[in-house]
A = this chain, B = another copy of it.
């Protein structure tokens, strides 16, 4: 299993759409047929199917055909890679939040 930069491109791109993140959230509650995945959305089944395709191309979802039904499942490993990338920058929001905290504290020093 290789992981290169283009994988991260795909992962982040897949997650950059509200509908697709909602699909991931839905699938976190369990495997579901495409039609059920699509139900909450106003768009066509075809459109949702495309979104699922984007997710499965990115490896975030797997689709298994049983009978005439396609069952969709979450595959979270690419998200772990994304988190691993993001974690390198954690120190920045730590220090920036700290600075913000200090600022607020200074502002309240006259209490």
- Contact residues of A with B, CB < 8 Å? 5-6, 8-13, 15-18, 21, 24-25, 28, 74-77, 79-80, 82-83, 85-90, 92-93, 96-97
Contact = CB atoms under 8 A, between A and B. Distances in A.
A97 B76 CA distance: 10
22 contacts: A6-B18, A8-B18, A8-B21, A9-B16, A9-B17, A9-B18, A11-B16, A12-B13, A12-B15, A13-B16, A15-B85, A16-B16, A74-B89, A75-B92, A75-B96, A77-B93, A77-B96, A79-B86, A79-B93, A80-B90, A80-B93, A83-B83
Contacts of A90: 76, 80, 83
Given A25-B88, A77-B97, 19 more contacts: A5-B18, A8-B18, A10-B16, A12-B16, A13-B13, A16-B16, A21-B85, A28-B88, A28-B92, A75-B92, A76-B89, A76-B90, A76-B92, A77-B96, A79-B86, A79-B89, A79-B92, A82-B82, A83-B90
